[in-house]
Amino acid sequence: MKITIAQLNPVVGDVSGNLKKAAATLEQLTQPTDLVIFPELFLVAYPPRDLLEKPDLMERVQGAVRELRELSARYPHLGLVVGAPLPSSRATGKGLNNSALLIYRGQILFRQNKSLLPSYDVFDETRYFDPAEEVGVVPFKGEVLGISICEDAWCDPDLWCRRLYEVDPVNIMAQKGATVMINISASPFQIGKEEQRYHLMENHVKRLGRPFIYVNQVGGNDELIFDGESMVLDARATPLAILPTFREEVATVDLSQPGKPTIFTPPEPIATVHEALVLGTRDYLTKCGFSKAVVGLSGGVDSAVTCCLAVKALGRENVLGVLMPSPYTSRESIDDSLNLAQNLGIRTQTIPITPIYQAYIDTLTQPLEIKELDVTLENIQARIRGNILMALSNRFGYMVLSTGNKSELAVGYCTLYGDMSGGLSVLADVPKTMVYELARHINREQKVIPQEILVKVPSAELRPGQKDQDTLPPYEILDRIMNYYLVEGYAYQDIVGQGLDPETVGWVIRAIDRNEYKRRQAAPGLKITSKAFGMGRRIPIAARYEI
C-alpha cells in the first residue's frame, strides 16, 4: 500500500479554506497513492475551542464532509483519512465527537471517534467531546487499518507517573487485527518533545510489529505552535519517512518497501525554539490579519531578540523599531539599538519621551505628593512608551510585539499597560537565560545582535544607575527556582533542598504567586516549554495560599 501523509497548516475555524487546502493537496499529487492522510480536526484546525459551540460552524463542517465525499468520487483509486468534529450518536453528553473519517469513492467507509480526551495543561477536550463508545478497525485495500487520534497513541506507562486512562486504543486495534496503525494528530511543540514523540511511535512498532503512520498538524494557532515532524515507520521501526519540522510537507511512501535504518537525531533544542518562535510569530500575525509589527528597542537583549525573530518571520520591510529614550536612557543603549536596526536593515523612529514624562510630573506632583523618583514614576515611563507603540499600531496597522521574557513575567518585573502592552508576547515562555542562548544562536551565522548588548548588565533604565539585580536575584538563580516551582511542581522545601538560599526561594515563590493578576492581563504568549503562563496554567487570582 502507498500512503501519502499531508502535514499541513490549517486555520482555526476556516472550514472552506481548509477544505480548499485538502483539495489542492489531492490535485498536486505527483505519484500514485492509495491513501491520503490529513491531521486531527483538520477541517476546523486545532484547537477550535468554543467555536465548536457555534451551530453554523458545525453546519459548515457537515457541508465540507459532503464536499470531500464528492471530491473523493473524482479520485476513485484513493481513500482519504481526515479529522473533523462530528455529532455524537449518544442521547446524553456533549453531543460531539473528535472523529477520523475514512472516505472512499464518495462514501464514508469508516468513522473512528477519539477515545482518550486529554484535559491537562493546554488540553480541554472533555469540555467539548464525548469519548468513543467503541474502538474498531477497517479493511482497506488488502490491509486492516487501525485509525487513532493523537492522545489515543499516548497511553504509554513510561510517559506518566500515574496512569491517566483505563483503555489503550492502539492495543485494542492491534488485538482486533489491524495490520497498519495510523495516528492523526495535533500535537503542540515543546522543547524536547520531538525525541519523546519519536520514541513513543517507535515503541508502538516494536511492541506490535506493525507499521505506524503518524500525521501531525503544523503551524501556529494562538499560543500553541505545532511542529509537524510527521513520520512513517515500517514494521521493524525503521523510518520510511520523517517530515521536516515547522513547515508544510506532503510525502508518499510505499509500505511494501523497507525503511532506511537510521539513528534518530533530535535537533539542537535552541534551534527548535528559534524556529518555533518564528513560525508562531508569523502565523499569529498573518492569521489575525496583520502583516507588519512594531517593536520598542531599548538596547537590551529582550527587544533585540524579539526584533530579530520578527524580521525572520515577517521580513525586514515589515518591522519597525522604535527608540523612546528617557532622561535615564544611556547613549550606549541608543547606539546599540541603532546598530541592531542597521544590521537587520529595518526602519527606525526615535520618539523621545522626556517632554511627555515631564508633563506627567508637572501634572501629578501635587496629587501624588511626589518628592522623589520612585516606582510610580518608573512605571509612568513604561506606560508612556506603551501608549506610543499602541498609537503607532492604531495609525499604521502594526501589531505591537511586547518584549518581556518569562523570568520577568514570573515575578512581576514588568509594568501593566507599559512594557506589557502588545498583541503578542513573543518571549513570554522564554526564561532570561534562554533569551541569551537565542541571541547567541541568532549570531552564529552573522553577528546581527551587537556584542555590547550581550555583555551589558541588564537594566530597565528607569532611574539613574538602575540594574535588574538591584531588585531581582541573578537570572541564573531566578530561572532555576522558577523551573523547579512552575515546571517541576516542587514545594518550597524541595527547592531549598536543591542547595538554594531559603530567603531567595521564598521571595521568588511569593513573587510568582502574587503577580498572577498581571499575567492574566498580558498579551498572549507563544508556548515553547512544558508549562507556560497562559491557557495551560489556571491559577486563581483572589486566593490565599501561603508557602
Cis-peptide into 325, omega within 30 deg = no
Length of the chain: 547
Residue 387 φ/ψ, nearest 5 degrees:
-65, -40
In contact, 184 and 150? CB cutoff 8 Å: yes
> Smallest Cα–Cα separation from 218: which of 275, 262, 264?
275
Distance of CA 159 to the CA centre of its chain: 21
Q: What's the rounded Cα separation, in Å, for the pair 345 and 437? A: 23
C-alpha cell at 535: 491557557
Q: Which of 21, 114, 406, 432 is catalytic?
A: 114
In contact, 276 and 427? CB cutoff 8 Å: no
Q: Which of 21, 40, 287, 312 is catalytic?
A: 40
Distance from first CA to last CA of the chain, Å, rounded? 59
CB atoms within 10 A of CB 456: 17
In contact, 309 and 281? CB cutoff 8 Å: yes
In contact, 171 and 135? CB cutoff 8 Å: no
In contact, 4 and 33? CB cutoff 8 Å: yes
Q: What is the DSSP letter of 458?
A: P
Is 40 catalytic? The answer is: yes
Is 437 catalytic? The answer is: no
> Smallest Cα–Cα separation from 471: which of 380, 382, 408?
408
- Output the CA–CA distances (angstroms, integers) from residue 20 to 53, 64, 216, in the order listed: 23, 10, 19
Cis-peptide into 10, omega within 30 deg = no
In contact, 129 and 166? CB cutoff 8 Å: no
C-alpha cell at 343: 544590521
Q: Parallel, antiparallel, or unpaired for β 399-402 and 293-296?
A: parallel
Is 114 catalytic? The answer is: yes
Q: Which of 150, 155, 307, 414 is catalytic?
A: 150
Just list the catalytic residues.
40, 114, 150
